[in-house]
Structure 1
Amino acid sequence: MHSLRFRLMSAALLAGALIAPPAAADDLEKAFDRVFQIKPAPAGGLPPGTVLPGGVLPANPAPGAVVPYGNGFEARLAGVANATHGRIGVAAVDLSNGKGISVMGDQPFPMASTVKVAIVATFLDGVDQGKFRLTDRFPIMMPMPSRPGSGPAPQREGPIYSATQLIDMTIIHSNNHATDALLAAIGGPRAVDHWLRKAGVSGMRIDRDIATLVRDDGMVNPATTIDLRDSTTPQAMATLLAGLYQGQWLSAGSRAVLLSAMSRCATGTHRIRGLLPNDAIVGHKTGTLNNTSSDVGIIRTADGRNIAIAIYVTGQGSKPGRDSRIASIARTVYEGYQPQLTAMRDSGATIAR
């Protein structure tokens, strides 16, 4: 285990209360900035897809600056992300000032259903290019019986839904059949990989559709073995989330569709959200496969901070054990970026849920 500081663009993710998007793209942009008190990005900004050495995006307001943490933040995070009972990867950054921290943030982990963020983003890029419309209708893809490891899983077409419905099913409820419908529409895993390469996101790759991924689940133990197929580093996922919010790759309208769905995610109540105070707001996407659980997204704190976070956990004895570890890591990150909470904890005071 090692700890590595990294920096991301100062931006925020999370649609919060914006469940029904405003009518115009400009209104969407202003609404997000108003809700999360975000300063607009500098005029022009960086070219789309800009990636610094190490695969991370630069931070505002002081690109290249390394900001000391203090208060034992790194030591506490290293403690709760201890990999004794399985590999654990974490990447987090305060989007208001670029303070970043990670544990095994540059190692590959199974994406599981967190890959659905990239799949939906690729589809929405197609919407922006005029290839699709959100009102277009596609059949969900139903897996058919096949032998594990025998190549792509055969699928048949099922009921038909609009693209908007499929996106909500994919992100909010993590519906695998809806995800494969979007994946089939854009041209399969290679199309997502191509979009990621075009965007300049390194450290993330898509190899299989969800039906094949689920069918072959369990053939590799992610707690002891790194399988590069359908994997990401925590830093790569954080980079993807930051760029999507900043509008590097999607229009404001398409960005809002994705962020609104993440703000309404119905899975993983015991993960990132599990130990956070009730006034913290979370927009996220979970992932679960054999011996691995994950949760990625943005935490909005009570004092107005926005923390991007990607947590990938393997092992820990059970799914509840992995969920509990994710919740503890998220709480540690939440407190670590707020010195007043750290002081309260060290004094023995009870911090309200």
Structure 2
Amino acid sequence: MDTKSPLRSRLALLASAALAGLWMALGAPASVAQSTELTGNDPGLEYLAAEVERLAENARGTVGVAAYHLETGRGFTLNGDVRFPMASTYKVPIAVQILSMVDRGELSLYDMIELAEDDIYLTASAISDLLDDPGVQLSIHNLLELMLQISDNIATDVLFREAGGAAAITGRMADAGIEGIRVDRTTWALIANWLGRPDVTVEGGIHPDEFRKLLEAERTQEDLAANNRTFNADPRDTATPAAMASLLRKVWEGEVLSEESSRLLIDIMYRCRTGEARLKGALPPGTAVAHKTGTIGETTNDVGIIDLPGDAGHVVTVVYIRESKLEDNAAMEPVIAQIARAVHDYFVFNPRGNLGS
């Protein structure tokens, strides 16, 4: 779903056309009543939340934000309980389920998984870009690296299967006390559904050659707008900002994984290669961010943990944008960057919660 290979360019073009089509068809963005909630004894958070709400207006859509300072527990949400399409940020809960199985001894990071012929299809994937013949073997560890660093969709779909599928992944979230995240489909099925093939499921329904034709097919702006309306109303593969922030906090604090697995997941996310213009886009040069991006249709996301300088700590930052009427996903990225910078600066200058008291 996140992209820069030839297919990634095709998906980005489809998304841009869909945005243009929906803007022409519907005009002004649908409005969602804004809801802000503050956490912790910090009067200054009211000012931060107000600034983030102001910045969110630039998205011309619905924006969800959750930000929590890990060392003090202070934070806020904007539309924190509203569901948003996760796009490729759903790869974080998939990784948590895989590493939970490693912790329980059900999988090993060094288990070699052979990819079947049907596993390899045209999508945003280094595997399909470079290794389009059967016989490829990759370890669980390597698949995690591909899924989280470059948002590889084939690696994701293989790990989705190894994780036990939708019920097991969503069930792991519930076991962790997180009710606002649901994972339902492979990226294969999710993209096909978005492009107007509701018959495609996790179990199949489309051959790789047919999937290629689906991606390459010409579509009218009206068709793309209709596809987006259907996709945006679908509750599958969605999360609330508050739930995703809770998952990231629990990973950081070792509540859902062993210390070793928690550190591995965070380390891979620090090396994420997508979304340089999102959470990281307006931060001071060299700021470390462990994050995962997501992009599809009118949805542009980035979720992660921002390192603050000195002893100021770390801040979980989740930004979801849906139903944006901006011209393309790249135009949404500065909104994410500006929100992340506001959050970063607030907690740098006010690491202990004294501002406004």
TM-score (norm 1): 0.72
1:125 aligned to 2:157? no
- Write the letter of the residue equivalent to 2:161: A
Aligned residues: 274
Match of 2:319 in 1: 311
Decide which of 37, 47, 55 is 1:72's aligned counterpart. Answer: 47
- Write the letter of the residue equivalent to 1:76: E
Higher share of residues assigned helix: 2
Decide which of 271, 276, 284 is 2:291's aligned counterpart. Answer: 284
Identity %: 34
1:41-70 CA-to-partner distances (Å, cap 9, x unmatched) read xxxxxxxxxxxxxxxxxxxxxxxx442116
1:239-254 map, 5 Å: 239-254=246-261
> Aligned-pair distance for 1:198?
1.2
> Aligned-pair distance for 1:71?
7.7
- Write the letter of the residue equivalent to 1:269: E
Between the aligned partners of 2:95 and 2:183, the Cα distance in structure 1 is: 13
1:268-283 map, 5 Å: 268-283=275-290
Q: Helix, strand or coil for the counterpart of 2:119?
A: strand
- Write the letter of the residue equivalent to 1:138: I
Between the aligned partners of 1:296 and 1:134, the Cα distance in structure 2 is: 24
Decide which of 109, 119, 134 is 1:142's aligned counterpart. Answer: 119
> Aligned-pair distance for 1:279?
3.7
1:327 aligned to 2:337? yes
1:84-163 map, 5 Å: 85-140=60-115, 142=119, 159-163=136-140
Between the aligned partners of 1:322 and 1:256, the Cα distance in structure 2 is: 31
1:205 aligned to 2:213? no
Between the aligned partners of 1:103 and 1:331, the Cα distance in structure 2 is: 16
C-alpha spacing 1:275/1:332, structure 2 compared with 1 (3 Å):
same
CA RMSD of aligned residues (A): 2.4
1:4 aligned to 2:36? yes
1:206-249 CA-to-partner distances (Å, cap 9, x unmatched) read 11111111222255436994421100000000000111121112
- Write the letter of the residue equivalent to 2:142: Q
Match of 2:165 in 1: 188
The answer to whether the Cα contact below 8 Å between 2:194 and 2:231 also exists between their aligned partners in 1 is: no
TM-score (norm 2): 0.71
The answer to whether the Cα contact below 8 Å between 1:263 and 1:284 also exists between their aligned partners in 2 is: yes
> Aligned-pair distance for 1:325?
1.1
> Aligned-pair distance for 1:5?
2.6
- Write the letter of the residue equivalent to 1:323: E
The answer to whether the Cα contact below 8 Å between 2:66 and 2:317 also exists between their aligned partners in 1 is: yes
The answer to whether the Cα contact below 8 Å between 1:279 and 1:302 also exists between their aligned partners in 2 is: no
The answer to whether the Cα contact below 8 Å between 1:122 and 1:192 also exists between their aligned partners in 2 is: yes
Decide which of 180, 194, 213 is 1:217's aligned counterpart. Answer: 194
1:230 aligned to 2:228? no
Match of 2:155 in 1: 178
1:248-297 CA-to-partner distances (Å, cap 9, x unmatched) read 12111111221110010000011110110014211100011111110000
C-alpha spacing 1:75/1:131, structure 2 compared with 1 (3 Å):
same
